[in-house]
Amino acid sequence: MAQIVSLSEAVEATVQDGASVALEGFTHLIPFAAGHEVLRQGRRELELIRMTPDILYDQMIGVGAARKLVFSYGGNPGVGSLHRFRDAVEHGWPRPIEVEEHSHAGMANRYVAGASRLPFMVMRGYQGTDLATRTNVRTVICPFTGEQLAAVPALNPEVAIVHAQEADRDGNVQLWGIPGVQKEAVLAAQRSVVTVERIVDQLELRPGGVVIPGWVIDYVAPAPGGSLPSYALGITERDNDFYREWDRISRDREHFQAWMSEQGLLG
Amino acid sequence: MAQIVSLSEAVEATVQDGASVALEGFTHLIPFAAGHEVLRQGRRELELIRMTPDILYDQMIGVGAARKLVFSYGGNPGVGSLHRFRDAVEHGWPRPIEVEEHSHAGMANRYVAGASRLPFMVMRGYQGTDLATRTNVRTVICPFTGEQLAAVPALNPEVAIVHAQEADRDGNVQLWGIPGVQKEAVLAAQRSVVTVERIVDQLELRPGGVVIPGWVIDYVAPAPGGSLPSYALGITERDNDFYREWDRISRDREHFQAWMSEQGLLG
Amino acid sequence: MSVDYTNGELQTVVAARSLAGKRSCFIGVGRPSTAALLARMVHNPRLVLVYESGTIGAKPHRVPLSIGDGELAQSADLVVSVPEMFNYWIGPGRVQVAFLGAAQIDPHANLNSTVIGDYAHPRTRLPGAGGAPEIATGCAEVVVIAPHSKRTFVQRLDFKTTRGERTTLVITDLGVLEPRDGVLTLTTVHPGVSVDEVRENTGFELAVSESLKVSEPPSTEELNALRELVSR
Amino acid sequence: MSVDYTNGELQTVVAARSLAGKRSCFIGVGRPSTAALLARMVHNPRLVLVYESGTIGAKPHRVPLSIGDGELAQSADLVVSVPEMFNYWIGPGRVQVAFLGAAQIDPHANLNSTVIGDYAHPRTRLPGAGGAPEIATGCAEVVVIAPHSKRTFVQRLDFKTTRGERTTLVITDLGVLEPRDGVLTLTTVHPGVSVDEVRENTGFELAVSESLKVSEPPSTEELNALRELVSR
């Protein structure tokens, strides 16, 4: 049963140095507040997992918190590069980072396998591309048709952190809008934290609402505005200007460090 | 793009003698009106596919419309046996019927494979049971862990027929309440029919609403009350008395035939 | 205080008691449903009820006739598709206890719900597997609820539908059996039931616990709640 | 009547025209999104727009900055999870046309969006595969929209991210290439663009169609709609 605690308690209870951590949210409901709390607590050597690294992981990589990145698309959507991610991969600054990359379909199915507690999932993909030789994918033969398919290994992060619009006092969570892989991430992880815009007396099921019952969540933490500059549909608006602004902030190492320091995110 | 037509036109255009037909609806939204129309049109030699055969398939089997039944649970839920199904299997009356049975998990994953257009799906199951030796299931070895898992073959019926609460004039469908495997059945089938309680100008997304866009459906046909004695949540009520009454009607061959004849369902 | 009750009522009450302190329970229709609803009324108001129709956290007021009754969907915390139910919830073992029934049960708690007689030419065609095989290997604890008769408790199943390894309790109208070294063993009899009576109604050689207990009769609270529930 | 326009505008207009008569299109952000919205305004109001964020049948009023903008979810016919998007919609080929971009494209329309330089020590780390590999093998027709330069059109990719077999059109700011016997061949140039200019900006030996066409310049309607759309 989910405990409702403060964000700092939730992060302290779940994220240790060296942990594999998935902060998910596919272009929506990105758990910025939780990621920033991980940085404030000074966590290092993390294996960061996320389909779409986005600004949050650029920040976490830029301060050197990550040992490894598991992902499928590392760009600033609609803007361009993630400069801190590039700097880490291209120049090892502030530290070298190991990358394990997949396609979106591969990552999504890795989460499906994880949520199902199956060791792998079957899909069509990877074959005939250089990805197949560079990442953790194998093949499996269909025992009915003989077709060779891709097998992707289950992803079971030690910690999954997602953001949602609301939870009730028992820790039952509801999110709506683009649902991404958040449910799968929570169900695949060994421990989970959901940050929410608000705690309500009773969840009222919404159109498109995805409910995650409190008894499969470890911690629920209120974090109003906790997905900004991403957004929580119906509550906050995506700060597109900041996404553009990040390109300027992050391009230069010193400028980036000054900005992160100002925000108290250097850990 | 779905054509909106009458029920008889939809059935005539899709269900031929000998076809494999899945009429789905997991204890809710069972497409009785469509199944009865199949009988009125006199279709025979059908391969009937359905997780939970229920009264509708008891009727279709009882008049001899089915050559084969693919299923996972053939009972009258909460009441007892499906007597016509039993009579067909036990005594070959009115004709012998071939059965291919699975577990619910197996059937559900066969539909998932079908909807994904993959040749099979992986799951844990069947091993150590007699089902494994009696049905169409094979094994696959996880290329990462070496674990042996069950592989179930894709189910791609020639026709899927489901019932939903409403459609708009473009044939976009919405159903809510227990969603079963209806979406998977429609996406897995070669041709699909959705019968609906009503046609509305505009779908208004509901809590728990499952939308199937008209462009993956072939025919939408109005059939108000079309899932009775099953039900359409929010519109009709399950006729539990009839489910109990069916036990009496179906127990005896002649009584059954008289009842079906009265209903004009002897084809 | 003594209260009159049937052994069927006691069977339901004993099944309900087994859910005290449990987090979640997977149930089908009939007596298992009644027992689980009774558990929520008397022993465990926070028990999460899961039906294979996809309703998780259902809170029905009446005992449902089918696992797809509208009230289950309307009162549930969430309603999921059947593939999601088996792949994300049952398979990974998120549901703690499962209540199952069966037409036949063997000394190792394996179950038959497929056929009586030969598979190709069955004497009685039963409904089939349904969700049972994966529920019985997915849930941590399986409780079988069955009538106690020689027809049900057999040395050898006509068809092995469902594996018995996870079965922790078999609750009948005569008593309770539990696995001891993998063999179902009578550990409890209902008040007024003799071991001989159980033996006569068991189709395999009955193992009996050395510390055989007698079930606590239904309390007034349990019986009143049960009867009120059934009358709804 | 002659209207002033940029070749970038014409590229968008030509991409929009390619969606006339199509049922559904998978799009990313940037020029593909603009082209698809323009197609819905001018050529094909019923075109179903699909974004990998899970929004199917999105009808955005403005060109979205990201594929996850709120307006996409709010205007969609349905919104699905990412696993469902790839497993039930993209993989089975339910979406007819895909618009893709790339940093490098080879003569067989294979794409690189992973790295420039060596994989282990890249000169430029690009965003990576995203949805492209499975979109490019799932959709029946793939349209690549790319700037025409020697850096983009290369003989040999630094990394093969995405396979080119299903590519039907490559639309650039200089013209259009189509596969002929599996090799990208210049079939159309934009008005005022010479074959030599295209050749100079192509990093592999350029095949040119014997029946080379010239693109129709944007109509007033197309150009007005495009400029109005971009100004929203």
Mutant choice from B56, B178, B187, B230 vs C, greatest count of C C-beta within 10 A: B178
Q: State how far the Cα of B192 lies from the Cα of B23, in Å rounded to an integer.
A: 10
Contact flag A103-D123 (C-beta cutoff 8 Å): no
How much is the average pLDDT of B218-226? 98
**ipTM confidence:** 0.97
Which pLDDT does position B194 carry in this prediction? 98
DSSP label at C89? I
Residues near A121 by beta carbon (within 8 Å), at least 6 away in sequence: A109, A110, A112, A113, A151, A152, A154, B122
Sign of CA dihedral D11, A242, A21, D122: positive
Which pLDDT does position C2 carry in this prediction? 58
Q: State how far the Cα of B233 lies from the Cα of D124, in Å rounded to an integer.
A: 56
**D130, D206 contact by CB (below 8 A):** no
How much is the average pLDDT of C92-116? 97
Q: What percent of chain D has pLDDT over 70?
A: 99
Closest CA to D92 of B117, B121, B190, B218: B117
Q: What does the mean pLDDT of chain B come to?
A: 97
Residue C1 has pLDDT above 60, yes or no: no
Contact flag A206-B207 (C-beta cutoff 8 Å): yes
Q: Which residue has the tokens 């690549």?
A: D144
Residues near B22 by beta carbon (within 8 Å), at least 6 away in sequence: B48, B49, B50, B155, B157, B159, B160, B161, B185, B188, B189
Chain B residues whose CB is inside 8 A of the C159 CB are 130
Which pLDDT does position C28 carry in this prediction? 82
Mutant choice from A155, A211, A212, A218 vs C, greatest count of C C-beta within 10 A: A211
Question: For chain A, which residues score pLDDT lower than 50?
Answer: none
Report the chain A residue with the minimal C-alpha distance to residue B174. A207
Which pLDDT does position D1 carry in this prediction? 47
Neighbours of chain C (3+ CB pairs under 8 A): A, B
Residue D2 has pLDDT above 70, yes or no: no
Closest CA to A40 of A22, A21, A60: A60
Domains of chain B: 3-103+155-253 (3.40.1080.10), 120-153 (no CATH)
Would residue D52 show up in a list of annotated catalytic residues for this protein? yes
Q: β-strand B191-200 against B219-222: which pairing, if any?
A: parallel
List, for residues B109-150, the tens digit of each pLDDT value.
Answer: 999 999 999 999 999 999 999 999 999 999 999 999 999 999
Contact flag D24-B215 (C-beta cutoff 8 Å): yes
N residues, chain C: 232
Structure confidence at residue C138 as a pLDDT band (50, 70, 90)? very high
Contact flag A238-D81 (C-beta cutoff 8 Å): no
Q: How far apart are the first and last CA of chain D?
A: 26
List, for residues B165-193, the tens digit of each pLDDT value.
Answer: 999 999 999 999 999 999 999 999 999 99
List, for residues C165-201, the tens digit of each pLDDT value.
Answer: 999 999 999 999 999 999 999 999 999 999 999 999 9
Count of C-beta atoms within a 10 Å radius of residue B95 = 14
Q: What does the mean pLDDT of chain C come to?
A: 96
Chains D and C touch (3+ CB pairs under 8 A): no
Chain B residues whose CB is inside 8 A of the D59 CB are none
List, for residues D179-197, the tens digit of each pLDDT value.
Answer: 999 999 999 999 999 999 9
Burial class (CB in 10 A: 0-12, 13-18, 19+), C75: middle
Give the residue with greater pLDDT, C3 vs D69.
D69
Q: State how far the Cα of A175 lies from the Cα of A192, in Å rounded to an integer.
A: 15
Q: Which listed CATH number (3.40.1080.10, 3.30.450.80, 3.90.226.10, 3.40.50.1100) goes with D7-231? A: 3.40.1080.10
Q: How far apart are the first and last CA of chain A?
A: 31
Structure confidence at residue D45 as a pLDDT band (50, 70, 90)? very high
Contact flag D114-A130 (C-beta cutoff 8 Å): yes
Q: State how far the Cα of B176 lies from the Cα of B166, in Å rounded to an integer.
A: 10
Q: State how far the Cα of D161 lies from the Cα of D144, in Å rounded to an integer.
A: 14
Angle at A74 between CA A68 and CA A75, to 5 degrees: 150
DSSP label at D210? E
Q: State how far the Cα of A229 lies from the Cα of D47, in Å rounded to an integer.
A: 31
Instruction: Give the D window 165-224 contacts with A, CB below 8 Å.
Output: none
Closest CA to D32 of D75, D72, D64, D77: D64
CA C205 to chain centre: 22
Which pLDDT does position B22 carry in this prediction? 98
Contact flag C129-B179 (C-beta cutoff 8 Å): no
Chain B residues whose CB is inside 8 A of the C123 CB are 90
Tell me the one-letter amino acid at A184.
E
CB contact B120 to A (< 8 Å): yes
Give the residue with greater pLDDT, A74 vs C66.
A74
Closest CA to B161 of B18, B37, B27: B37
* Strand ranges of the sheet holding C97-100, from the earlier edge strand across to the other edge: C78-79, C55-58, C48-50, C24-26, C97-100, C141-145, C167-171, C175-180, C183-189, C207-214
Q: What percent of chain C has pLDDT over 90?
A: 93
Q: State how far the Cα of A52 lies from the Cα of B206, in Å rounded to an integer.
A: 30
List, for residues C32-49, the tens digit of each pLDDT value.
Answer: 899 999 999 999 999 999
List, for residues C210-225, the tens digit of each pLDDT value.
Answer: 999 999 999 999 999 9
How much is the average pLDDT of D56-68? 91
**A125, D163 contact by CB (below 8 A):** no
Residues near C143 by beta carbon (within 8 Å), at least 6 away in sequence: C15, C18, C97, C98, C99, C100, C167, C168, C169, C170, C171
How much is the average pLDDT of D125-141? 97
CA D230 to chain centre: 17
